[in-house]
Chains A and B, each alone.
Chain A
Amino acid sequence: MKTGDAGFITTTLENALEWGRSNSIWPFTFGLACCAIEMMATQASRLDISRFGSEVFRNSPRQSDLMIVSGTVTKKMAPRLKRLYDEMPYPKYVIAMGVCVIQGGPYNQGYSVVMGVDRVVPVDVYVPGCPPTPEALTHGIMLLQDKIRKREGK
Chain B
Amino acid sequence: MEGQLNSRYVELNMGPQHPSTHGVLRLKLLLDGETVKNVEPVIGYLHRNAEKICELDYYCDSLIYFDRMDYVAAMNMEVGYLEAAEKLLAIEPPERVKWIRVIMAELNRLASHLVWAGAFGLDLGMITPFFYFFEEREKILNLFTEICGSRQETNYMSIGGVYQDFNDKIIFKIKQFLKQFPKKMEGAYSLFIKNDIFLSRTKGIGILEPEVALSYGVTGPMLRASGVPYDVRKDAPYLVYDKLNFDIPISKGKDVLARCIVRFEEMRQSVKILNQALDKIPDGPYFNPKAKKSLMIRLRGEGDVYARTESPKGEFGVHLVGDGTVKPYRLHVRSPAFKNLSVLPFLSRDVLIADMVAISGSIDLVFGEVDR
Per a CB cutoff under 8 Å, which of B52, B68, B134 touches A33?
Answer: B68
Q: Which residues of chain B are within 8 angstroms of A111 by Cβ–Cβ distance?
A: 49, 52
Q: Take A37-B72, A41-B134, A106-B64 as given contacts and tell me if A30 and B52 are in contact as well, using a CB distance cutoff of 8 Å.
A: no
Cα A110 to Cα B49 with chains together (Å):
6
B37-59, CB under 8 A of A: which get 1 and which 0? Answer: 00000001111111011001000
Q: Which residues of chain B are within 8 angstroms of A107 by Cβ–Cβ distance?
A: 48-50, 53
Q: Is B65 among interface residues, defined by CB-CB distance under 8 A?
A: yes
A84→B17 contact, CB < 8 A: yes
Which B137-165 residues have a C-beta within 8 angstroms of A? 137-138, 141, 151-153
Q: How far is the CB of A36 from chain B (nearest CB, A)?
A: 7
Q: How far is the CB of A111 from chain B (nearest CB, A)?
A: 6
Which B115-150 residues have a C-beta within 8 angstroms of A? 115, 118, 130-132, 134-135, 137-138, 141
Q: How far is the CB of A80 from chain B (nearest CB, A)?
A: 6
A83-104, CB under 8 A of B: which get 1 and which 0? Answer: 0100000000000000000000
Q: Which residues of chain B are within 8 angstroms of A77 by Cβ–Cβ distance?
A: 16, 24, 45-46
Q: Is B99 among interface residues, defined by CB-CB distance under 8 A?
A: no
Which B358-372 residues have a C-beta within 8 angstroms of A? 367-368
Cα A80 to Cα B64 with chains together (Å):
27
B131→A33 contact, CB < 8 A: no
Cα A78 to Cα B19 with chains together (Å):
18
B232-259, CB under 8 A of A: which get 1 and which 0? Answer: 0000000000000000000000000000
Q: Which residues of chain B are within 8 angstroms of A34 by Cβ–Cβ distance?
A: 68, 71, 152-153, 368
Q: Which residues of chain B are within 8 angstroms of A106 by Cβ–Cβ distance?
A: 53, 64-65, 68
Q: Is B23 among interface residues, defined by CB-CB distance under 8 A?
A: yes
Per a CB cutoff under 8 Å, which of B68, B71, B130, B151 touches A133?
Answer: B151
Q: Which residues of chain A are within 8 angstroms of B72 by Cβ–Cβ distance?
A: 37
Q: Take A44-B134, A76-B44, A109-B56 as given contacts and tell me if A37 and B71 are in contact as well, using a CB distance cutoff of 8 Å.
A: yes
User: Which partner residue on chain B sits nearest A41 by CB separation?
Assistant: B134
Q: How far is the CB of B272 from chain A (nearest CB, A)?
A: 26
Q: Take A31-B23, A33-B71 as given contacts and tell me if A74 and B134 are in contact as well, using a CB distance cutoff of 8 Å.
A: no
B138→A33 contact, CB < 8 A: no
Cα A133 to Cα B292 with chains together (Å):
30
B45→A76 contact, CB < 8 A: yes
Cα A102 to Cα B72 with chains together (Å):
22
User: Which partner residue on chain A sits nearest B111 by CB separation?
Assistant: A37
- Secondary structure type dominating chain A contacts: loop
A58-91, CB under 8 A of B: which get 1 and which 0? Answer: 0100000000000110101100100010000000
Per a CB cutoff under 8 Å, which of B23, B115, B135 touches A32?
Answer: B23
Q: How far is the CB of B198 from chain A (nearest CB, A)?
A: 20
Q: How far is the CB of A154 from chain B (nearest CB, A)?
A: 22
Q: Which residues of chain B are within 8 angstroms of A84 by Cβ–Cβ distance?
A: 17
Q: Is A51 among interface residues, defined by CB-CB distance under 8 A?
A: no
Per a CB cutoff under 8 Å, which of B44, B46, B134, B367 touches A40?
Answer: B134
Q: Which residues of chain B are within 8 angstroms of A29 by Cβ–Cβ distance?
A: 19
Q: Is A140 among interface residues, defined by CB-CB distance under 8 A?
A: no
Q: Take A44-B134, A45-B131, A109-B56 as given contacts and tell me if A131 and B47 are in contact as well, using a CB distance cutoff of 8 Å.
A: no
User: Which partner residue on chain B sits nearest A40 by CB separation?
Assistant: B134
User: Which partner residue on chain B sits nearest A36 by CB separation?
Assistant: B23
Q: Is A46 among interface residues, defined by CB-CB distance under 8 A?
A: yes
Q: Which residues of chain B are within 8 angstroms of A110 by Cβ–Cβ distance?
A: 48-49, 52-53
User: Which partner residue on chain A sits nearest B45 by CB separation?
Assistant: A77
Q: Which residues of chain A are within 8 angstroms of B153 by Cβ–Cβ distance?
A: 34, 130-131
B48→A113 contact, CB < 8 A: yes
Cα A36 to Cα B21 with chains together (Å):
13
Q: Which residues of chain A are within 8 angstroms of B19 by Cβ–Cβ distance?
A: 29, 59
Q: How far is the CB of B126 from chain A (nearest CB, A)?
A: 14
Q: Is A15 among interface residues, defined by CB-CB distance under 8 A?
A: no
Q: Which residues of chain A are within 8 angstroms of B151 by Cβ–Cβ distance?
A: 38, 131, 133
Cα A111 to Cα B52 with chains together (Å):
9
Q: Which residues of chain B are within 8 angstroms of A46 by Cβ–Cβ distance?
A: 134-135, 138
Per a CB cutoff under 8 Å, which of A31, A32, A45, A72 touches B134?
Answer: A45
A113→B49 contact, CB < 8 A: yes
- A-binding residues in B (CB < 8 A): 16-19, 23-24, 44-50, 52-53, 56, 64-65, 68, 71-72, 115, 118, 130-132, 134-135, 137-138, 141, 151-153, 367-368
12 A-B interface contacts by CB (under 8 A) = A33-B68, A33-B368, A34-B68, A38-B151, A41-B138, A44-B118, A45-B138, A72-B46, A74-B47, A77-B16, A107-B50, A111-B52
| Smallest CB-CB A-B distances: 7 pairs | A110-B49, A44-B134, A34-B71, A59-B19, A45-B135, A77-B45, A45-B131
Known: A33-B368, A72-B46. 6 other contacts (CB 8 A): A41-B141, A45-B135, A46-B138, A77-B16, A106-B68, A111-B49
